[in-house]
Amino acid sequence: MPDSPEVDLDEVYNFALELGQAAGKILDDGWKSRCNGDGDNKTVEKDSAVDIVTQTDEDVEAFIKEKITNRFPSHKFIGEETYGKGSSKEYLIDDDPTWCIDPLDGTVNYTHIFPMFCVSIGFILHGDPVIGVINAPFLHQTFSACRGKGAWLNGTQRLPLLRNPIPPMPVNAPQSCVFACEWGKDRRDRPDGNLYRKVESFVNMAAEVGGREGKGGMVHGVRCLGSATLDLAYCAMGAFDIWWEGGCWEWDVAAGMCLVREAGGLVTTANPPSNVSDAVIEDARPGSRLYLAIRPAGDCARESGREGQERTVREVWRRVRQLDYSRPGA
Amino acid sequence: MPDSPEVDLDEVYNFALELGQAAGKILDDGWKSRCNGDGDNKTVEKDSAVDIVTQTDEDVEAFIKEKITNRFPSHKFIGEETYGKGSSKEYLIDDDPTWCIDPLDGTVNYTHIFPMFCVSIGFILHGDPVIGVINAPFLHQTFSACRGKGAWLNGTQRLPLLRNPIPPMPVNAPQSCVFACEWGKDRRDRPDGNLYRKVESFVNMAAEVGGREGKGGMVHGVRCLGSATLDLAYCAMGAFDIWWEGGCWEWDVAAGMCLVREAGGLVTTANPPSNVSDAVIEDARPGSRLYLAIRPAGDCARESGREGQERTVREVWRRVRQLDYSRPGA
Amino acid at B94: D
Phi, then psi, of B74 in degrees rounded to 5: -85, -10
Least CB–CB distance from B176: residue in A47, A224, A226 = A47
Least CB–CB distance from B176: residue in A46, A168, A216 = A46
- Residue B41, pLDDT > 60, answer no
- Residue B89, pLDDT > 80, answer no
- List the alpha helices (DSSP H) in chain A: 9-36, 49-71, 107-112, 194-206, 228-237, 250-263, 305-317
**For B202-246, what is each residue's pLDDT tens digit?**
999 999 999 999 999 999 999 999 999 999 999 999 999 999 999
Q: Tell me which chain B residue has its CA closest to the CA of residue A40.
A: B164
- Please classify residue B219 by burial: count the beta carbons closer than 10 Å to its beta carbon, then call 0-12 exposed, 13-18 middle and 19+ buried: buried
Cα angle value B204/B288/A225 (rounded, 5°): 45
Q: Tell me which chain B residue has its CA closest to the CA of residue A37.
A: B164
Report which DSSP code applies to A269: -
Return the axis-axis angle of helices A250-263 and A228-237, rounded to nearest 10°.
0
Contacts of B167 in chain A (CB under 8 A): 44-46, 49
Q: Tell if the CB–CB gap between B237 and A208 is shorter than 8 Å.
A: no
A247's torsion region: left (phi>0), alpha (psi -120 to 50) or beta?
A: left
Q: Tell if the CB–CB gap between B188 and A203 is shorter than 8 Å.
A: no
Q: What is the pLDDT of residue A91?
A: 82
Q: Tell me which chain B residue has its CA closest to the CA of residue A39.
A: B164
Average pLDDT, integer, range B146-157: 98
Shortest distance, CA A49 to any CA of chain B (angstroms):
10
Neighbours of A44 (CB within 10 A): 16
- In DSSP terms, A175 is beta-bridged to A219
Neighbouring C-alpha atoms within 13 Å toward the C-beta of A128: 16
Contacts of A139 in chain B (CB under 8 A): 115, 139
Q: What is the pLDDT of residue A90?
A: 78
Q: Tell if the CB–CB gap between B189 and A216 is shorter than 8 Å.
A: yes
- Residue B5, pLDDT > 70, answer no
Q: Tell if the CB–CB gap between B211 and A226 is shorter than 8 Å.
A: no
Q: Tell if the CB–CB gap between A208 and B223 is shorter than 8 Å.
A: no
Q: Tell if the CB–CB gap between B178 and A114 is shorter than 8 Å.
A: yes
Q: Tell if the CB–CB gap between A164 and B202 is shorter than 8 Å.
A: no
**For A93-130, what is each residue's pLDDT tens digit?**
889 999 999 999 999 999 999 999 999 999 999 999 99
Average pLDDT, integer, range B288-296: 97
Q: Is A81 annotated as a binding residue?
A: no
**For A228-251, what is each residue's pLDDT tens digit?**
999 999 999 999 999 999 999 999
Shortest distance, CA B196 to any CA of chain A (angstroms):
9
Contacts of B300 in chain A (CB under 8 A): 44-45
Contacts of A216 in chain B (CB under 8 A): 187, 189
Q: Which residues contact B80 (CB under 8 A, 6 or more apart)?
A: B57, B61, B101, B102, B103, B104, B249, B251, B252
Nearest to A239 by CA among B137, B52, B114: B114
Contacts of B165 in chain A (CB under 8 A): 41, 44
- Residue B86, pLDDT > 80, answer no
Q: Which residues contact A129 (CB under 8 A, 6 or more apart)?
A: A100, A122, A123, A254, A255, A257, A258, A261, A286
- Residue B90, pLDDT > 90, answer no
Least CB–CB distance from A208: residue in B141, B167, B189 = B189
Interface test with A, best of B42, B43, B114 (most A CBs within 10 A): B114
Residue B254's SS3 state is helix
Q: What is the pLDDT of residue A6?
A: 78
Average pLDDT, chain A: 93
Q: Is A104 annotated as a binding residue?
A: yes
Q: Which residues contact B315 (CB under 8 A, 6 or more apart)?
A: B173, B174, B217
| CATH code for the part of the protein at B9-158 | 3.30.540.10
Contact assessment for residue A153 and residue B191, using Cβ atoms and an 8 Å cutoff: no
Cα angle value B326/B329/B330 (rounded, 5°): 50
Contact assessment for residue A23 and residue A103, using Cβ atoms and an 8 Å cutoff: yes
Contacts of B319 in chain A (CB under 8 A): none
Average pLDDT, integer, range A285-307: 96
Contact assessment for residue A271 and residue A290, using Cβ atoms and an 8 Å cutoff: yes
- Residue B54, pLDDT > 90, answer no
Q: What is the pLDDT of residue B329?
A: 53
Q: Tell if the CB–CB gap between B35 and A178 is shorter than 8 Å.
A: no
Residue B195's SS3 state is helix
Q: Tell if the CB–CB gap between B114 and A46 is shorter than 8 Å.
A: no
Average pLDDT, integer, range B244-268: 97
Q: Tell if the CB–CB gap between A223 and B114 is shorter than 8 Å.
A: yes
Q: What is the pLDDT of residue B4?
A: 56
- Residue A21, pLDDT > 90, answer yes
Average pLDDT, integer, range A279-293: 96
Interface test with B, best of A43, A189, A299 (most B CBs within 10 A): A189
Task: Please report the number of interchain residue pairs, chain A to chain B, with beta-carbon separation below 8 angstroms.
Answer: 181
Least CB–CB distance from B161: residue in A35, A44, A212 = A35
Neighbours of A165 (CB within 10 A): 14
For chain B, the structural domain boundaries read 9-158, 178-317
Q: What is the pLDDT of residue B326?
A: 82
Longest dimension (CA), chain A: 63
The CA distance from B65 to A309, in Å, is 42
Q: What CATH fold (topology level) applies to the domain A9-159?
A: Fructose-1,6-Bisphosphatase; Chain A, domain 1 (3.30.540)
Amino acid at A244: W
Annotated binding-site residue numbers of B for Mg(2+): 80, 102, 104-105, 252
Q: What CATH fold (topology level) applies to the domain B178-317?
A: D-Maltodextrin-Binding Protein; domain 2 (3.40.190)
**For A31-64, what is each residue's pLDDT tens digit?**
999 998 754 444 445 556 778 888 999 999 999 9
Q: Tell me which chain B residue has its CA closest to the CA of residue A112.
A: B239
Shortest distance, CA A75 to any CA of chain B (angstroms):
35
Q: What is the pLDDT of residue A50?
A: 74
Contact assessment for residue B170 and residue B220, using Cβ atoms and an 8 Å cutoff: no
Q: What is the pLDDT of residue B45?
A: 53
Contacts of A162 in chain B (CB under 8 A): 34-35, 41, 46, 113
Q: Tell if the CB–CB gap between A44 and B167 is shorter than 8 Å.
A: yes
- In DSSP terms, B120 is beta-bridged to B102, B134
Q: Tell if the CB–CB gap between A208 and B187 is shorter than 8 Å.
A: yes
Q: Tell if the CB–CB gap between A189 and B216 is shorter than 8 Å.
A: yes
Higher pLDDT, B3 or B271: B271
Average pLDDT, integer, range A220-224: 98
Q: Is A230 annotated as a binding residue?
A: no
Q: Is A102 annotated as a binding residue?
A: yes
Q: What is the pLDDT of residue A5?
A: 60
- Residue B153, pLDDT > 90, answer yes
The CA distance from A194 to A196, in Å, is 5
- Residue A137, pLDDT > 90, answer yes
Q: Tell if the CB–CB gap between B114 and A240 is shorter than 8 Å.
A: yes
CA B140 to chain centre: 18
The CA distance from B28 to A144, in Å, is 22
Q: What is the pLDDT of residue B43?
A: 47
Q: Tell if the CB–CB gap between A36 and B226 is shorter than 8 Å.
A: no
